[in-house]
Structure 1
Amino acid sequence: MLDAEDVRRIAMSLPGTAEKEMWGHPTFHVVNRMYITVPGDGTSFAVRCPRYERDELIAAEPHKFWVPPHEAGSSWVRARLATLEDIGELYDILVDSWRQAAPADLAESFVPPGPGRP
């Protein structure tokens, strides 16, 4: 089963990432822009997600994705680690959030690993 250490390992493998503790839990930043948080007990994580995509994700897979009421106005979505299919799905979600936060030149120069990912 996937856990918060898998999130950390993937996040730290992405260019320009730094880990910082905020609000009492780990957060991951690229060039000082946060793109992942691992709140609470580490069974879920939050990533950047445009609101129009977020609504579609939640509607399609409500068992996997949700937004707490206090984050409803943000461009973030949470995902339950236990519901992800495999490490590849986790990797894709984290890279997508990283690309939204990374400077364009860094994001464009990044070539992720091929099939199977990490």
Structure 2
Amino acid sequence: MATWDDVRRIAAALPETAEPSPHEWRVGDKLYAWARPLRKGDLEALGDAAPDGPILAARVPDLGARAALLADDPSVYFTTPHFDGYPAVLVRLELIGPEELAELVTEAWLSRAPKRLAKAFLAERG
């Protein structure tokens, strides 16, 4: 079971990450992961499938990556009509494992980081 502290720890290890407000992570001025409580329209669209726990939104490289995550594990990843056409997924934070969370947050960071920074980070990791 992942928590906001887990997201914070993972994000803090990524270069040039800032948390300008609680549960909002940016690289430079680009948002890559954030808390996304469900709104009235989301609840109406999801109906009985609407989760109760904390929801993390994370950027993904493109809509293909988003579709792959949604198909891979719909118990963890989901979306709402608000995100149609937008490269991000919603995550049931309490259901994602720690390794998968680390991969998701890192990929979200990579999708928003400046190319030189992402390239340096990847080279450092080998």
Which residue number in structure 2 is paired with residue 108 of structure 1? 119
Which residue number in structure 2 is paired with residue 72 of structure 1? 84
* 1:1-118 alignment, distance < 5 Å: 1-21=1-21, 26-40=23-37, 43-49=54-60, 50-85=62-97, 87-110=98-121, 111-112=124-125
**CA–CA distance in 2 between the matches of 1:9 and 1:68?**
27
Structure with greater contact order relative to length (CA < 8 Å, sep ≥ 6): 2
Task: Compute the TM-score of the two structures, normalised by the length of structure 2.
Answer: 0.77
Higher normalized helix content (fraction of residues): 2
**CA–CA distance in 2 between the matches of 1:26 and 1:20?**
9
- Pick the structure with greater CA Rg: 2
Task: Compute the TM-score of the two structures, normalised by the length of structure 1.
Answer: 0.82
- Displacement over 6 Å in runs of 4+: none
Unaligned runs of 5+ in 1: none
Unaligned runs of 5+ in 2: 38-51
Give the length in aligned residue pairs: 109
CA-based RMSD: 1.9
Q: Percent identity?
A: 34
